[in-house]
Copies of this chain bind each other. A is one copy, B any other.
Amino acid sequence: MTGKLSAPPDRAHKTAPAQPEDKPKRGARAVDLRIYRAVFNAVMSQRLPPGTRLAEAELCELYQVSRTTVRRALLRLAHDHILELRPNRGAVVASPAPAEAREVFAARRLLERQIVPAVMRNATPADLTRLRQSIAAEHQACHAGDRANWIRLSGEFHLILAELAGNRVLLGFMTELVTRCSLIIALYDSPGSPMCENDEHQRLVSLIEQGLQDEATDLMERHLLKIEARLRLAERTQKLDLAQALSGQDLP
């Protein structure tokens, strides 16, 4: 853990856009931030698979803090749809159903479709450079075979775009959506699918640079649809799923 560039969203009860926050300010809030990030990264890297139960006492011992602190971190994680909190029964890693996954992707398409033109109105050459740097980092992780980091960096590219749209509220929504999408991808991506995408991010930046708004918007839409299409989101109910899964085993 402790990937130094990991970027779990720090929003929530913060109006200011950004803060240094490099070193723990007073050793106060940094603690539950640490728990938040650790769980966040673990879930995203699939070290904590969906459905995993997170007992409070365990985390207490791991991080040497009281249950009060752990609880706050869990509450935030639940609010961001990374965990699910079941009353009196503890927290488990979220496992969004296919229907929910589709809705998350649909919402994301709806937002990003409109972010592209906003970026084109606002972006400076320096911003485009930033986007290209992000793409470079992404490719690097891709070629290194670091799947977890690739998923994260790939999401980060979209977050930079959202930031360039110049609306912090929108950026907050996109942060939540990208996070949830990453979780869904980690959950449902077909195992054998090729990790590297075919430079759609690169092409998108080019289209933005050239001012081709309709083409850029279109590419964004197709890009997101393609990602969703790769997922194994068979729309079966939990019951059928179970029946199907057992159908090959009951005759020895």
Q: Given that A28-B87, A75-B75 are known contacts, is A110 also in contact with B13, CB under 8 Å in the complex?
A: no
State which of B72, B75, B85, B111 has its C-beta within 8 Å of the C-beta of A110.
B111
Residues of B within 8 A of A103 (CB): 167-170
Bound-state Cα–Cα, A96 to B169, Å: 12
Q: Given that A103-B169, A107-B169 are known contacts, is A84 also in contact with B114, CB under 8 Å in the complex?
A: no
State which of B78, B85, B87, B107 has its C-beta within 8 Å of the C-beta of A170.
B107
- Is A188 an interface residue when CB atoms closer than 8 A count as contact? no
Q: Given that A104-B169, A107-B173, A167-B107 are known contacts, is A15 also in contact with B84, CB under 8 Å in the complex?
A: yes
Bound-state Cα–Cα, A108 to B252, Å: 58
| Closest B residue, CB atoms, query A99 | B168
* Copies of this protein, total: 2
- Quote the shortest CB–CB distance from A198 to chain B (angstroms): 28
Map CB proximity to B onto A98-116 as digits: 1 under 8 Å, 0 otherwise: 0010011011001101100
Instruction: Tally A residues with Cβ within 8 Å of B.
Output: 32
- Quote the shortest CB–CB distance from A70 to chain B (angstroms): 14
Q: CB within 8 Å of B: which of A8-61?
A: 12-13, 15, 28-29
- Quote the shortest CB–CB distance from A29 to chain B (angstroms): 6
Residues of B within 8 A of A113 (CB): 114
- Is A143 an interface residue when CB atoms closer than 8 A count as contact? no
A29 near B173: Cβ-Cβ < 8 Å? no
Residues of B within 8 A of A107 (CB): 167, 169-170, 173
A13 near B85: Cβ-Cβ < 8 Å? yes
- Is A79 an interface residue when CB atoms closer than 8 A count as contact? yes
Bound-state Cα–Cα, A90 to B62, Å: 29
B168 near A87: Cβ-Cβ < 8 Å? no
| Closest B residue, CB atoms, query A85 | B13
State which of B15, B106, B170 has its C-beta within 8 Å of the C-beta of A100.
B15
10 A-B pairs whose Cβ atoms sit less than 8 Å apart in the complex: A13-B78, A15-B96, A29-B87, A68-B68, A79-B79, A103-B167, A103-B170, A104-B169, A106-B170, A114-B114
